[in-house]
C-alpha cells in the first residue's frame, strides 16, 4: 500500500505513470466516457482549511470513477475529540482512501502512519503534490512534453513552489524561481532536491525578468497565503516588483503560458490583462486537478486506466 504525502515520495517513473493515466482518463472523459473503476469505493476528505478546487475536484473525480465520498469537517472531531491515531485507525477501516488538507504537514504524516488505506496530501504548509501534478499535466498538454521545458515561478517560495520544483526535477523540466530576498525556497530543501535529483536544472534569482527569459510557463501565487494574513501589508511592499503583468509576460517567449493555482488576487500578484489573456491557462490548469487526481487514485488503488 502506498500513500501520497509528498511529491518527493514518488519516483520519476511513478510521476510519469500518474500523468499518463490522468491523460488517458481525461481523453475518455472528453469523449463522454466515465469509467467506473471503483464501484462501491469510498473516499473520506479531512479538511482543516477552506477549499473549492481541492474539494470539488476530489469529490467529482471519485463520483466519475464510480465511487463515493464524504466530507469530514470540524464536527467529526478530527484531532480534538480523540487522538489522530484512534481517529485514523477507525476511519481507515471504513473507507478506501483518505484525503487530508491540513495546516501542518506533520498531520498528514501522522494520518498516513496509522492508516490502513492510502492517504493523499490535499495541501499542507510544505507540500501540494496534487496541484503540482495538475500543473505538470497542463504544461505537458500544451507543449507535448516536459523534458527541457523551463517553468518559472515568480513570487513566494511557498508550498506550491516547493512541489512544482520537485515535479520539474523529477520530470526533466527546468525550474526557475524569482523571489524577493527573505522569501526564497529553504536552503536545506534545495540542497536535498539537488542531492536527490543530480541532473535537476534549478535556477534561483531575485530578478523576475531574468527568470522568465526563455521560459515555457510563468507561474505565480498570492503574496500572502492562508494563515499569513497578518503579514499581508508587509508582503505587498516586499513583492511589489514581482507582479506578473504584461511587461513581464513580454520578457518571455510569445508562446509562454501563464499559470496560477488560484484563488488569485487580481491587481496584486497578477493583473487582469494577464489573467484574461489568451496566454492564461488558469482555468484549464484548475480543471486538470480533476484529471490529475483521477490518475493519483487509479495509481494508488491499483486499478489500470
Mean pLDDT of 110-126: 97
Residue 144 has pLDDT above 70, yes or no: yes
**129 appears as a binding residue in the annotation:** yes
Catalytic residue (one of 261, 279, 291, 293):
261
Q: Which residues contact 109 (CB under 8 A, 6 or more apart)?
A: 5
Query: Angle at CA 265, nearest 5°, toward 162 and 7?
Result: 20
Residue 220 has pLDDT above 90, yes or no: yes
pLDDT for the residue numbered 225: 84
**114 appears as a binding residue in the annotation:** no
**288 appears as a binding residue in the annotation:** no
The separation between CA 116 and the C-alpha centre of its own chain, rounded to angstroms, equals 24
Catalytic residue (one of 168, 289, 291, 293):
289
> In the annotation, is 24 catalytic?
no
Given a contact cutoff of 8 angstroms between Cβ atoms, the answer to whether 154 and 261 are in contact is no
pLDDT for the residue numbered 305: 43
**117 appears as a binding residue in the annotation:** no
Catalytic residue (one of 3, 64, 127, 131):
131
Q: How confident is the model at residue 293 (pLDDT cuts 50, 70, 90)?
A: very high
**289 appears as a binding residue in the annotation:** yes
pLDDT for the residue numbered 301: 94
Give the N- to C-terminal CA distance of the chain in Å, as an integer: 18
> Among residues 120, 91, 101, which one has the least CA distance to residue 9?
120
**Alpha carbon distance 148, 300 (integer Å):** 28
**86 appears as a binding residue in the annotation:** no
**3 appears as a binding residue in the annotation:** no
Mean pLDDT of 184-201: 97
Mean pLDDT of 176-192: 97
**262 appears as a binding residue in the annotation:** yes
Range of weakest confidence among 66-75, 156-165, 181-190, 269-278: 66-75
Given a contact cutoff of 8 angstroms between Cβ atoms, the answer to whether 163 and 128 are in contact is yes
**Alpha carbon distance 57, 82 (integer Å):** 29
Residue 304 has pLDDT above 60, yes or no: no
**Alpha carbon distance 272, 246 (integer Å):** 10
> In the annotation, is 2 catalytic?
no
Catalytic residue (one of 3, 64, 101, 260):
101
Give 234-277 pLDDT, tens digit per residue: 999 999 999 999 999 999 999 999 999 999 999 999 999 999 99
Give 167-183 pLDDT, tens digit per residue: 999 999 999 999 999 99
Q: What is the DSSP letter of 31?
A: T
> In the annotation, is 131 catalytic?
yes
Given a contact cutoff of 8 angstroms between Cβ atoms, the answer to whether 223 and 158 are in contact is no
Give me the domains of the chain, ranges plus CATH numbers: 3-128+289-301 (3.40.50.1370), 130-285 (3.40.50.1370)
**158 appears as a binding residue in the annotation:** no
Catalytic residue (one of 53, 168, 221, 260):
221
| pTM of the complete model | 0.96
Cα separation values, 201 from 18, 104, 143, 253, Å: 22, 29, 18, 19
> In the annotation, is 101 catalytic?
yes
pLDDT for the residue numbered 50: 85
**127 appears as a binding residue in the annotation:** no
> Among residues 138, 153, 251, 155, which one has the least CA distance to residue 202?
153
> In the annotation, is 289 catalytic?
yes
Q: Is 28 helix (H, G, I), strand (E, B) or coil?
A: helix
Catalytic residue (one of 3, 64, 128, 260):
128
Cα separation values, 93 from 44, 118, 208, 266, Å: 11, 11, 49, 44
> In the annotation, is 128 catalytic?
yes
Amino acid at each position: 500500500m502506498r500513500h501520497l504525502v509528498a511529491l518527493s515520495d514518488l519516483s520519476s517513473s511513478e510521476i510519469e505513470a500518474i500523468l499518463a493515466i490522468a491523460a488517458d482518463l481525461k481523453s475518455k472523459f472528453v469523449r463522454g466516457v466515465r469509467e467506473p473503476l471503483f464501484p462501491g469505493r469510498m473516499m473520506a476528505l479531512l479538511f482543516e482549511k477552506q477549499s473549492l478546487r481541492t474539494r470539488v475536484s476530489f469529490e467529482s473525480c471519485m463520483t466519475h470513477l464510480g465511487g463515493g465520498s464524504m466530507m469530514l469537517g470540524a464536527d467529526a472531531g478530527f484531532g480534538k475529540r480523540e487522538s489522530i491515531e484512534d481517529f485514523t485507525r477507525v476511519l481507515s477501516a471504513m473507507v478506501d482512501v483518505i484525503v487530508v488538507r491540513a495546516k501542518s504537514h506533520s498531520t498528514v504524516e501522522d494520518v498516513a502512519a496509522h492508516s490502513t488505506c492510502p492517504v493523499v496530501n490535499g495541501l499542507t504548509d510544505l507540500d501540494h503534490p496534487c496541484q503540482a501534478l495538475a500543473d505538470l499535466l497542463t504544461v505537458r498538454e500544451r507543449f507535448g512534453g516536459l523534458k527541457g521545458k523551463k517553468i518559472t515561478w515568480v513570487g513566494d517560495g511557498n508550498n506550491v513552489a516547493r512541489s512544482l520544483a520537485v515535479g520539474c526535477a523529477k520530470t526533466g523540466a527546468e525550474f526557475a524561481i524569482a523571489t524577493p530576498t527573505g522569501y526564497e525556497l529553504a536552503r536545506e530543501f534545495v540542497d536535498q532536491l539537488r542531492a536527490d535529483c543530480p541532473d535537476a536544472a534549478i535556477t534561483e534569482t531575485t530578478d523576475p525578468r531574468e527568470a522568465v527569459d526563455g521560459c515555457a510557463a510563468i507561474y505565480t501565487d498570492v503574496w500572502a497565503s492562508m494563515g499569513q494574513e497578518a503579514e499581508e501589508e508587509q508582503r505587498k511592499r516586499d513583492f511589489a516588483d514581482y507582479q506578473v503583468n504584461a511587461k513581464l509576460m513580454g520578457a518571455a517567449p510569445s508562446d509562454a503560458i501563464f499559470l496560477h493555482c488560484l484563488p488569485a488576487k487580481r491587481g496584486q500578484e497578477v493583473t487582469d490583462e494577464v489573467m484574461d489573456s489568451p496566454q492564461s491557462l488558469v482555468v484549464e490548469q484548475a480543471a486538470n486537478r480533476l484529471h490529475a487526481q483521477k490518475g493519483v487514485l487509479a495509481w494508488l488503488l491499483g486499478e489500470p486506466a
